[in-house]
Structure 1
Amino acid sequence: MNRHQRTEYYLTDEGIYQPDAGAGRRRPSTWEELRHFRFSRLVPQDGAPPAGGTVDTSLAGRIAAAMVPAGETGQPDSEIPAGYTYLGQFVDHDLTMDRTDRLLGEQVTVEQLMQGRSPALDLDSLYGFGPGHPDSVRCYEPDGMRLRTGPTAGVGDLRDFDGFDLARMQGSDEALIPDPRNDENLAVAQIHLAFIRFHNRIVDDLVRRGTSSALLFDKAREKVVLHYQWVLRHDYLPRIVDPAIVDEVFTRGRQIFEVPVDPYHDAYGNGGANGNRYATVVPGRLPTMPIEFSIAAFRLGHSMVRDTYEWNSVFNSAGIPATLELLFTFSGTGGDLNGDNRLPSNWIPDWRRLFDLAGDGEAGPAFAPPASGLNRAKRIDTLLGHFLGELPPGTFGGRLTDGIPPGLQRNLAFRNLVRADMVRLASGQQAAQFIQQFTKLSPLSTRDILTGEGGADLGGLSDGEKSRIVDHTPLWFYVLREAELNNGVLTGVGGRIVAEVMHRAMEGSRHSIVRRPDWKPDLLSPSGRFTMAHLLLHAFDNDPVEVNRVQ
């Protein structure tokens, strides 16, 4: 999407890049210093950045074609419930938000993007600027405590159901949420709605406990953010990243990204720069966002996307397939809600099919998925589903670039690879060499890169192209190939980048489980766990009818 594919970057210590103006980079004004989102480089780059121009997209096109081949890919399912694919998208939107505009293929570098999102896991994509701010007040109920929800539109034998759609502008399909990207497809929109309901349930819980109205919203937000971070640390991250890496980072500290003087004992002190390796860490300072994370490592979720889903009792493989295209259609930003201003009631999801409520949530048999089973995310590897190879032009702003075939521009793999070249992103080899200085890591071999394990087939590349990719593997492809060789779990370069950036994003939040290591959820299950399944059950009142409205 245009809103996902950044084309201007404000990189710390590098300046603002404006290739459209033909001026290369320039120093930002004081106002721009305050307003631009702070991207950074994790892996240092040698040499001066280019003055502008376009990048060579030929090899990117060949790799992208291998990542989204014609016909059946044979990409296996993972063991991860499919809902985590869209929880990851929700997390991505919590960390970054695009406010810039450039054409695909134009060269940029690292520091420039107007945006309102902080690179901290603080749910500002849910809360905006808070109920007292004129830009966010529309997202809240008149009491200023609860977030707004909306009704669905009755269809057939199904009536309107209040609280099962995002609130929308009167006479419009525009969702009343701080970040319109969270209504770009139905799955991420419903994840956002679940967090709204979780917040409102927490408000109700606090009211019953006699919490003062003066403290109510702040207490509710603190509790929601901490539970959210707990889910990411203990439930989401160990599913997508080697748990040994996650445990090491969260118990011993970061080694490669914005590391304090002593990452083991002085995690929250003044810190200090160590050559060009670290940005200084000071109390209260928001983290930066490494482009190696946002443009490469955390795009792992694109590989997890299914082409079709067992969505509910109406839309499934036995009836009308719930295709990814339809999930975009029945949203306000990515589609048009099929021409209506509300979600049709027959598109309310059956949460039992997206998350393991009975197992992970430890709920009873009424919360078990139906006979058709639980949707599983696709294995994290170097293959993408067919829909992501032919995106509708509207999903990336409808703009096409001269000189690049329209078909390629609709290929998400191609867009990801070209974006990386536009900002001179480090290769997988450069990232591995950098990380090896500070932590144990085994780089991929030539065979690993070219052959993998049932992923993208690079056999159609010329000898010269193979040589180029072996010496300078695009970081996103490298990270996915690592996971592919590790049974679909990020390890090595990708695992280290994702774990450390997520740790720093939690540390940099106003409410932080990293800075409060003794904190534990007060919604823990009898077994002492709190997962996304538990969060959903609480949001939907632990009611089997509420989690499966379309009977």
Structure 2
Amino acid sequence: MNRHQRSDYYLSDEGTIYQPDAGASRRQPSTWEELRHFRFSRLVPQEGPDPAGGPVDTSLAERLAAAMVPHSQDEQDEQPDSAIPAGYTYLGQFVDHDLTKDVTDRTLGERVTVEQLMQGRSPALDLDSLYGFGPGHPDSAACYEPDGVRLRTGRTAGVGDLSEFDGFDLARVRGSGEPLIPDPRNDENLAVAQIHLAFVRFHNRIVDDLVSQGTPSALLFDKARERVVLHYQWVLRHDYLPRIVDPAILDEVFTHGRQLFEVPIDPYGNGSRYATAVPGRLPTMPIEFSIAAFRIGHSMVRDGYEWNSVFNQDGTPATLDRLFTFSGTGGELNGDNRLPSNWIPDWRRLFDLAGDGEAGPAFAPPAGGLNRAKRIDTLLGRFLGQLPPGTFGGGLADGIPARIQRNLAFRNLVRADMVRLATGQQAARFMQQYTKLSPLSARDILDGERGADLSGLSGDDRSRIADHTPLWFYVLREAEINGGVLTGVGGRIVAEVMHRAMEGSRHSIVRRPGWRPDLLSPGGRFTMAHLLLHAFDHDPVLLNRVQ
């Protein structure tokens, strides 16, 4: 009988409790135990049983992926820009890393069930990619200053006439350049690394604010994290999401609640579809979001940026491959493994600080210097068709040409097949039971609106895509036809999952609907531009360090 008794068990937020012969005690949970209660899920019910096993057929994915990447620079230049400042592309990547991380040990193309997927991030918008397990946990203690409250920053490497600048690079291990952050994916490219650094600085600035207000030292970290998380969620709800999702869908979900994903318990017992989602409990992460609907940022990436006064179209271009090179995960830093000072970004070129941030002329970019994200559509930049191996671990699957494995579109499409992700048509049929939704026609899917050209595919390929559209491609085509804004299937998935991710966070603007940012501008707004202004002390020199 003893073999069926548990000697220890996990309690969320409390760690692992084990019971020796005398009494019970608590010990610090291991990383594995912390992750045990994070789960992936399936939003759209699966049609038919899982296949017996074996690799997926990647041939159609290879041909479709090739059509999603421009073959020439002229084709690349024809992809429309959006009205969205380019920094939101990488804010979206930062959000994605905050919500989901598949740490399943599987080779590309190998079948895997949802139950076998291992989620390495808390699927709540709680900034665990910034805070890790907190200053007291051995796996994240190195991210913090000795006071156990502030997050560490790093010093850039002087170059030319530019000296070293403290606080403008991620903290790094001396010699190796390894970033001292909980999620090394946030050092995959320079843009997302600098977004992460901006949140580090924002946290530290909030700590300073609380100290000046007389907050007791014992409460500083918890109070700062709460304030940062709530401001972060506010930015996503009122600034980021309205730029990428149909506002009508957002307003419906955030006003009237979710209809599809982890719907709250119906107190009146009406309808069997109501799940047992409890607002304060941790949500799951639906694969329809992580593998398809929120991979829209890949189409927003530019192949080059107006980065600062040194790297721009008038001098040396800041090409996307350089942004990968000057990071610790996607490339290699300079000789002493620190960011060179001349690669500090000019934030005025990535976000509209003067307009959205309501700041003065000193915060405006030079003429033509504000980068715009590419339109959300079915085309990716040419660089994403040949990713550096370091961005996906460097491992290549046997039996698949190495060249196509470096194509990000191919990797996305194959990952969906590995878990038998619902097609766009299956998702639309499921959603039509509960929401008003107009599915795409075969003509919409095949022709689109100045996106991926499928005319070069065979008739059989076109027929298969029209009838069984990969969900990721379907979501992108919806947005493409809707002027670059998620609607229909994609808009509904993103809105509902983001709502649940906020609701399931320990600190939540959804569960505290009366909360308002303390940092609201005189105009009553708080955007990512306002967050940056606060993080950099409202100082135009700090926001444009490379003069």
Question: In structure 2, what residue type is equivalent to 1:321?
Answer: P
What's 2:107 paired with? 103
* RMSD of aligned Cα (Å): 1.6
Code of the residue aligned with 2:434 in structure 1: it is F
Identity %: 85
- Mapping of residues 491-506 of structure 1, within 5 Å: 491-506=487-502
Which moved further from structure 2: 508-517 or 372-381? Answer: 372-381
Tell me how far apart the structure 1 counterparts of residues 135 and 174 of structure 2 sit (CA, whole Å): 20
Aligned partners of 2:40 and 2:119 also within 8 Å: no
Give how far 1:224 is off: 0.2
User: 1:341 is matched by which residue type in structure 2?
Assistant: N
Query: 5+ unaligned residues in a row in structure 1: which ranges?
Result: 1-30
Looking at structure 1, the residues matched to 270 and 311 of structure 2 have their Cα atoms a distance apart, in angstroms, of 54
Runs of 4+ in 1 over 6 A off after TM superposition: 31-34
Which residue among 195, 200, 206 is the counterpart of 2:204? 200
Q: Which moved more, 1:108-117 or 1:97-106?
A: 108-117
Taking structure 2 as the reference length, what is the TM-score of the superposition?
Answer: 0.92
| 2:407 pairs with 1:403 | no
Deviations 1:455-478 (A, max 9, x none): 001111111111111110000000
Cα displacement (A) at 1:545: 0.1
Q: In structure 1, give the amino acid aligned to 2:527.
A: T
TM-fit CA distance, 1:171? 1.7
Does the CA contact (< 8 Å) of 1:147 and 1:200 recur in 2? Answer: yes
Partners of 1:116 and 1:393 in 2: CA distance: 21
SS in structure 2 opposite 1:296? helix
Q: Which residue of 2 aligns with 1:521?
A: 517
Compute the displacement of 1:278 (Å): 5.0
Alignment of 1:6-155 (within 5 A): 35=36, 37-71=38-72, 72-73=75-76, 74-155=78-159
1:479 matched to 2:479: no
Q: Partners in 2 of 1:486 and 1:146 — Cα distance? A: 43
Moved more, 225-234 or 210-219: 210-219
**Contact preservation (8 Å) 2:331, 2:388:** no
In the alignment, does 2:314 pair up with 1:313?
no
Give, in whole Å, the separation in 2 of the partners of 1:324 and 1:33.
Answer: 35
2:486 pairs, out of 465, 490, 493, with 490
Of the three residues 277, 284, 287, the one matched with 2:280 is 284
- Is 1:443 the counterpart of 2:439? The answer is yes
Query: In the alignment, is residue 382 of structure 1 matched against residue 383 of structure 2?
Result: no
Gap change, CA 1:111 and 1:198, over 3 Å in 2: same
C-alpha distance 32-550 of structure 1, shift in aligned 2 (>3 A) = closer
Deviation at 1:131, TM superposition (A): 1.0
Matching residue's letter, 2:60 = L
1:191 aligned residue: 195
Alignment length (residue pairs):
513
Structure 1 residues 281-330: Cα deviation after superposition (integer angstroms, max 9, x where no partner): 12532100000000000000000000000000001111111111110110
Paired amino acid for 2:330: G
Deviation track 1:343-400 (CA, whole Å, cap 9, x = no partner) reads: 0000000000000000000000000011232000000000000000011222222222
Question: 1:368 is matched by which residue type in structure 2?
Answer: A
The structure 2 residue matched to 1:174, chosen from 175, 178, 189, is 178
Query: 1:61 corresponds to which letter in structure 2?
Result: E
- Tell me if structure 2 keeps the 8 A contact 1:36–1:113: no
8 A Cα contact 1:361 1:531, kept in partner: yes
One-letter identity of the residue aligned with 1:403: G
Q: How far apart are 1:51 and its partner, in Å?
A: 2.2
1:360 is aligned to 2:356 = yes
Cα distance in 1 between the residues matched to 2:197 and 2:180? 11
Q: Is the 8 A contact 1:272 1:280 kept in 2?
A: no
Residue in structure 2 matched with residue 247 of structure 1 by the alignment:
251
Report the residue type matching 1:77 in the other structure.
D
Describe the SS at the equivalent of 2:294.
helix
Q: 1:403 deviation in Å?
A: 2.1
Unaligned runs of 5+ in 2: 1-31
Pair 319,273 (structure 1): closer, same or farther in 2 beyond 3 Å? farther
Inter-CA distance 382–283: structure 2 relative to 1 (3 Å threshold): closer
1:134 to partner: Cα distance: 1.6
2:160 matched residue in structure 1: 156
**Residue in structure 1 matching 2:416, options 409, 414, 420:** 420
* Structure-1 residue corresponding to 2:265: 261
What residue identity is the alignment partner of 1:439?
A: T
Q: Within 1, Cα distance between the matches of 2:33 and 2:58?
A: 31
| Equivalent-residue separation in structure 2 for 1:53 and 1:300 (angstroms) | 29
Is the partner of 2:334 in helix, strand or coil? helix
* 1:180–1:545 distance in 2 versus 1, CA, 3 Å: same
TM-superposed CA distance for 1:34, in Å, is 6.8
Tell me if 1:544 matches 2:546.
Answer: no
CA drift of 1:273 comes to: 10
* CA-to-aligned-CA distance 1:470-495 (integer Å, 9 cap, x gap): 11000000000000000000000000
Deviations 1:133-169 (A, max 9, x none): 1211111111111000010011000000000000111
Give the one of 327, 336, 353 matched to 2:332: 336
- CA shift, 1:100, in A, is 2.4
Does the 8 A contact of 2:35 with 2:120 survive in 1? Answer: no
